[in-house]
Amino acid sequence: MNRDSQVSITVIRRLPKYHRYLTELIEKGVSRISSQELSALTGFTASQIRQDLNNFGGFGQQGYGYNVEDLHRELGKILGLDAKYNAVVVGAGNLGQAIANYKGFEDAGFKVLSLFDRNPRVIGLRIRDIEIRDMDTLVDFIEENNVEIGIITTPKENAQEIADTYVKSGIKGIWNFAPTDLLVPDNVVIENVRLNESLFILSYFLKNLEESRA
């Protein structure tokens, strides 16, 4: 059991926001920051920020605060941003292409090697320098290119089948955009992006905004 694994997922999900603001601070040339200042930026309380960071060790210094670069680097390590992974996308529609184009991807250490689709009209096309290939070549490609991350940007009907193929090919992590829950073994990790759920929440907020003024 490693130390990090006992930190609650609630805490972990706040780390990317800290990391993002620290990136901005570095760009601005700020070298030092207090939990109170970070609180003003992120909206989390200063106390919570200190508690969160202390789960991983004492990165700060009394009377001084936190060194921006150090904290940024430590959070990057905790989040695994120093590792590099090869990825593929199944589903070369707009969403798949958007992801292949997405620059933020490489900041997280992921490199999209190829997109896959069944539609003959897109097979062979290139997004930047990333080729769209036939689904039939997916398994071989994964095995030959040390691909560890599989992305799913297809309709939900195909998602589980693709996940199964990914698992069989030895993939370690799946980034799933299809609005369905995938079944995979314990040794494969899944992170879902739920666009429709996000939209429903927006709808809820809108409804409540109106009702509270009615």
Please identify which residue in 4, 31, 51, 205 interacts with DNA, judged by CB under 7 A.
51
Please identify which residue in 15, 22, 25, 53 interacts with DNA, judged by CB under 7 A.
53
C-alpha dist (Å) from residue 196 to 96, 177, 180, 192, 200:
17, 10, 10, 11, 6
Residue 180 CB, nearest approach to a copy of itself (Å): 8
Residue 29 CB, nearest approach to DNA (Å): 16
| Window 119-158: residues binding a copy of itself (CB under 8 A) | 148-149
3-state secondary structure 120-149: CCCCCCEECCEEEEEHHHHHHHHHHCCEEE
Which of the stretches 50-58, 79-87, 133-141, 173-181 binds DNA when contact is defined by CB under 7 A? 50-58
Q: Is 50 in the site for DNA (CB under 7 A)?
A: yes
| Window 8-47: residues binding DNA (CB under 7 A) | 8-11, 33-36, 44-47
Q: Is 111 in the site for a copy of itself (CB under 8 A)?
A: no
N- to C-terminal Cα separation, the chain: 54
User: Which region holds residue 110: left if phi is over 0, alpha if psi is between -120 and 50, else beta?
Assistant: beta
Contact assessment for residue 95 and residue 156, using Cβ atoms and an 8 Å cutoff: no
Which of the stretches 27-35, 53-61, 66-74, 81-89 binds a copy of itself when contact is defined by CB under 8 A? 81-89
44's CB contacts (< 8 A; 6+ apart) are: 14, 17, 38, 52
Q: Is 78 in the site for DNA (CB under 7 A)?
A: no
Residues that bind a copy of itself (CB under 8 A): 1-2, 4-5, 12-13, 15-17, 19-20, 43, 78-81, 83, 85, 93-95, 97-98, 101-102, 104-105, 107-110, 148-149, 172-173, 175, 179, 181, 187, 189, 191, 193-209, 211-214
